[in-house]
Chains A and B, each alone.
Chain A
Amino acid sequence: MKRYIAILFLAFLCVSSCKKEDELQVLGIDYLNGKAVAVRFRTSVQHSDIGVFLGDESETAVLGEIQPWENIYQFRPVVPFTSNITYTFRRKDKKVLANFAPIDQNSGKPPEILAIYPSKDAVPENLLKLHVQFSEPMQSVGSALDYIKVIDNTSNEQVSIFLALESELWNQEHDLLTLWLDPGRIKTGLIPNKTQGLPLKEGHQYAIQFSKEWKSAQGVELKQPYFKNLVVVQRDGNRPKPQDWTMETPNPNTKDPLTILFNETMDAILAKETIHIKNEIGEEINGKFTLLYQETAVRFEPLENWDTGKFKIEVESRFEDLAGNNLNRLFDKKVENFDMDREVLKEIEFLIK
């Protein structure tokens, strides 16, 4: 620890500009959770005449506040300083007083793509969504599509298949991204469908490349470029049918898993969140869902031991297959008399004895 402090102290000395120490001396940079949140300095100049600027910039000062802190001052920028960029203290007359450059405090561990759903390569030509799970929160700037390239290996062309959205569909942690294949091209009859055809063509093979330059929220690039292959098979024109699903039921007085086999790959996110296990009197059983066998099944592990008796699996109607067909309707279908999807549930009963 002592050694660590000594190294940090040396680093601070290095970033301080010794020549200007009569006017302003940088004492150190304060880090919080790996972010450079403040710079401490001592100065003989009136502090209200001092500004912090990015590199050679001299017109637009960095927004923040200078606060007295014991006998010295502290400048706290509105957003943390960026590591490995040089900042400049300037006097009102633009004279340079000192420089400093925050160092990267992060472990530098690069982010990874943990999963891309659907995880199998064979997908129907009317595939609707792709979900990308990262190991940590990713950058909140730029567009995801800037880092994704899709090559049609069959025709040897770069193609554009995803829908560009102003507000991208990230989860709250910003580590799960949902990409839509352009629905306007999937729905038959729509002009984009007529003129450009389906985003994916049956019989074609595609390579989706995720650029290494995609950065984490900490500014660290992906560990490596990632690839996802798609082998496009025939259209999926059927709704999921829970009545055809099979089950592996657990034994009573155990925490054995209940496995539900769908017989086809389903939307990974919805498969985990639209299924509820309830007991005979309608109480929901607490537990954890895990995707299995390339999303053709889920395993449910209860927190408590199973009782004996009747149970039921409730599936919300918004449960979807890879083509966006849910329990109520096909994705590519006119809706004449639409009723809101909220109340319809499919129930499958099972017995533990």
Chain B
Amino acid sequence: MKKLLTTFSLVAIILVTIAATITDTKSDLKAGFVVGNPEIESMDKLSFGPEGILFIGDTKKASVYAVDTKDVVPKEEGGEIAIKGFDQKIAASLGTTTDKIKINDMAVNPISKNVYFSVNVMDGTPVILRLKGEGFENVPVNDVSYSKIELNDVIASDAKDKWDRDLRIWAISDLMYHNGKVLISGLSNKEFGSTFRSIPFPFNDAQEYASLEIWHAAHGAYETHAPIKTFDVININNQDYLMASYTCTPLVLFPMSDLKDGTHTKGRTVAELGAGNSPLDMISYEKNGQKYFLMSNTNRPVMRIKYKDIASFDKTLTEPVTVFAETEGVPYDNLPFPYVLQMDNLDATNVVYLQRTSNGDLILRSRSIEWM
């Protein structure tokens, strides 16, 4: 018994030492992080990077924060999720009613498979909640290890106006971490333009800013003044492309290597997914050795597009689409999921999504990619 206890104690000491080493050693990515209150004012967009780092897009302060969630215990599976009355549950957790909350975004931590939500209440107080079973836990962001970058408005100097003039809003429409960079699309309240930022992470002073131009087949013209709603990155023949989806739904590829600071880049439109619609979320997954993209929409069901169809589509759509809501280019399938408001990969074989059902209920559900 004594021997057993000694062995146990030794193991415990070793474990504690390992744990302490892990905690004490900051990774290179978190080397510049500071502990404190980042004073985040709005949490419009969420996206996870590596090592449990959560990127938060704050439109009100035109900033992006990288917050160390310390949520790094790996899990293979996200488990089954099926929650009805989801908005009522969130409202009850925040002690208020559904008309006084707004679910801004959802993101899954790829390490722990925990699902995070950013929620606003009436007065604009932003909250991050983590799904725990059928309930939630609060993820405080007022005393965290974080780093921050301000989205400098390089077009004009008004961001630092001293004389009480209105500052330009730069609403963040999508945000993702890819290969050492935080990619951000947005829309300004003043000029209706499409701007895209690529910011190296860990943050330093550098941020690249490019304006994008697309061939809008519906317009029959090159188009600069349209906002990207959602995007992903696709690798074709060893080159990364920004795959951006716009309001009125053209799908456009931009070589990432062309998106350089201050440049104006022409994209290649590979699909017209129909006017009268606006894309919401885009994710990708692999099934039976094939890669697919899923896109949720305001007025269309979730669309599924095969990677190989995008990769093999070497044309660009230059002829105007003449019939309203007609689609062109890369083919896609409609999945039987309308009104999907939020969507993310839960784990290697499941997707989690937030859907408004036909009876008005808001449900959070996981679904195997076998059925997607």
Compute how far the CA of A38 lies from the CA of B149 in the bound complex, rounded to whole angstroms.
33
Q: From known contacts A142-B102, A169-B187, A171-B169, infer whether A77 and B276 are also in contact, taking CB-CB under 8 Å.
A: no
Alpha-carbon separation in the docked complex, A326 to B298 (Å): 31
> Within residues 313 to 339 of chain A, which ones have a CB less than 8 A from any CB in chain B?
316, 318, 320, 324, 326, 331, 334-336, 338-339
Contact B248 A140 (CB under 8 A): no
Whether A141 contacts B100 by the Cβ 8 Å rule is yes
Interface size class of A (residues with CB under 8 A): 35 or more
A54 to B88, CA, bound (A): 11
Question: Is the pair A191, B218 in contact by a Cβ cutoff of 8 Å?
Answer: yes
Q: Is there an interface contact between B97 and A85, defined as CB atoms closer than 8 Å?
A: yes
* CB closest chain-B residue, reference A174: B124
A286 — which chain B residues lie within 8 A by C-beta?
A: 162-163
Q: Binary interface profile of A, 59-88, with partner B (CB < 8 Å = 1, else 0)?
A: 111111000000000000111111001010
A20: CB under 8 A from chain B?
Answer: no
B124 with A217: CB separation less than 8 A: yes
Is A97 in the interface zone, CB < 8 Å from B? no
Q: Which chain B residue lies CB-closest to A184? A: B248
CA distance A170 to B61 in the complex (A): 12
Q: Write the A127-166 contact mask toward B (1 if CB under 8 angstroms, else 0).
A: 0100000000101111000000000000000000001111
Assess whether A141 is in contact with B120, with CB atoms less than 8 Å apart.
Answer: yes
- Tell me if B20 is interfacial: C-beta within 8 Å of chain A: no
What A residues does B44 contact at CB under 8 A?
Answer: 167
Candidates B61, B96, B216, B321; contact of A85 at CB < 8 Å? B96
Q: A62 with B92: in contact, given A140-B122, A184-B275 (CB under 8 Å)? A: yes
Please tell me which stretch of A1-9, A201-209, A269-277 contacts chain B, meaning at least 4 of its Cβ atoms lie within 8 angstroms of it. A269-277
- CB–CB B275/A191 < 8 A: yes
Closest B residue by C-beta to A195? B324
Contact B221 A334 (CB under 8 A): yes
Q: How far is the CB of A291 from chain B (nearest CB, A)?
A: 11
Contact across chains for B97 and A331 when beta carbons are under 8 A apart: no
Q: State which of B93, B121, B171, B221 has its C-beta within 8 Å of the C-beta of A60.
A: B93
Mark the stretch among B7-15, B22-30, B188-196, B283-291 that contacts chain A.
Answer: B188-196
Specify which of A82, A272, A326 is in contact with B97 (CB 8 Å cutoff). Answer: A82
How long is the Cα–Cα vector from A141 to B137 in the complex, in angstroms?
21
A81 to B324, CA, bound (A): 48
| CA gap between A335 and B214 in the complex, in Å | 10
Most buried by B among A53, A79, A273, A338: A79
A63 to B190, CA, bound (A): 39
Is A287 located at the chain interface by the 8 A CB criterion?
yes
Cα A195 to Cα B164 with chains together (Å): 42
Interface contact B262-A340, CB-CB below 8 Å: yes
A140-B122, A218-B123, A338-B213 known; A172+B169 contact, CB < 8 A: yes
Q: In the bound complex, what is the Cα–Cα distance between A130 and B99 (angstroms)?
A: 26
Q: Assess the B92–A57 pair: CB atoms within 8 A.
A: yes
Residue B89 at the A interface, CB < 8 A?
yes
Q: Is the CB of A140 within 8 A of B121?
A: yes
Of the 9-residue stretches A118-126, A175-183, A232-240, A241-249, which lies at the interface with chain B?
A175-183
Any A CB within 8 A of the CB of B56? no
Write out the residue numbers on chain A whose beta carbons fall within 8 Å of the beta carbon of B224.
335, 338
Q: What 0/1 readout, one digit per residue, does chain B (197-238) give for beta carbons within 8 Å of chain A?
A: 000000000000001010010111111111001000000000
B: contact size bracket: 35 or more
Whether the Cβ atoms of B211 and A340 lie closer than 8 Å is yes
A90 interfacial by beta-carbon distance below 8 Å: no
Q: Which of B74-82, B153-161, B304-312, B348-356 contacts A (4 or more CB under 8 A)?
A: B153-161
Tell whether, in the assembled complex, residue A191 and residue B171 are in contact, meaning their CB atoms are under 8 Å apart: no
* Distance to closest chain A CB from B232 (angstroms): 17
A342 at the interface (CB under 8 A from B): yes
CB contact between B95 and one of A81, A218, A316 (< 8 Å): that residue: A81
Inter-chain contact B41/A172, CB cutoff 8 Å: yes
User: Interface digits, B72-111 against A, CB 8 Å rule (1 contact, 0 not)?
Assistant: 0000000000000000010111111101111000000000
Which residue on A lies nearest to B121, using beta carbons? A79
Whether A190 pairs with B248 at a CB distance below 8 angstroms is yes
Q: A60-B92, A172-B61, A189-B220 are in contact. Are A167 and B172 (CB under 8 A)?
A: yes
Contact B222 A336 (CB under 8 A): yes
With a CB–CB cut-off of 8 A, which chain B residues contact A53? 92
**A residues less than 8 Å from B171 (CB atoms):** 165, 167-169
The smallest beta-carbon distance between B186 and chain A, in angstroms, is: 8
Asked if B337 lies at the interface with its beta carbon under 8 angstroms from chain A, I say no
Query: Does A353 interact with chain B (Cβ within 8 Å)?
Result: no
> Is the C-beta of A341 less than 8 angstroms from some C-beta in chain B?
yes
For A35, list chain B residues within 8 Å (CB): 123
User: Distance (Å) between the CB of A263 and the closest chain B CB?
Assistant: 22
Chain A residues near B172 (CB-CB < 8 A)? 167
Contact A269 B248 (CB under 8 A): no
Q: Is the CB of A189 within 8 A of B320?
A: yes
Q: Is the CB of B163 within 8 A of A287?
A: yes
How far is it, in angstroms, between the C-alpha of A341 and the C-alpha of B129 when the chains are bound? 41
Asked if B357 CB lies within 8 Å of chain A CBs, one says no
Asked whether A63 lies within 8 Å of B93 as measured between CB atoms, the reply is yes
Q: How far is the CA of A163 from the CA of B122 in the complex (A)?
A: 23
In Å, the complex CA distance between A180 and B59 comes to 18
Cβ contacts A to B, 18 pairs, < 8 Å: A61-B93, A63-B95, A64-B95, A64-B138, A79-B127, A80-B125, A81-B95, A82-B100, A85-B97, A169-B189, A178-B169, A183-B225, A184-B247, A191-B325, A272-B165, A273-B168, A274-B156, A318-B156
Interface residues of A (CB under 8 A from B): 35, 52-54, 57, 59-64, 77-82, 85, 87, 128, 137, 139-142, 163-172, 174, 176, 178, 180, 183-184, 187, 189-192, 194-195, 215, 217-219, 267, 269-270, 272-274, 286-289, 316, 318, 320, 324, 326, 331, 334-336, 338-342
Residues of B within 8 A of A (CB): 41-42, 44, 59-61, 89, 91-97, 99-102, 120-125, 127, 129, 135-138, 154-156, 158, 161-169, 171-173, 187-192, 211, 213, 216, 218-226, 229, 247-248, 262, 264, 275-276, 278, 280, 298, 320-321, 324-325
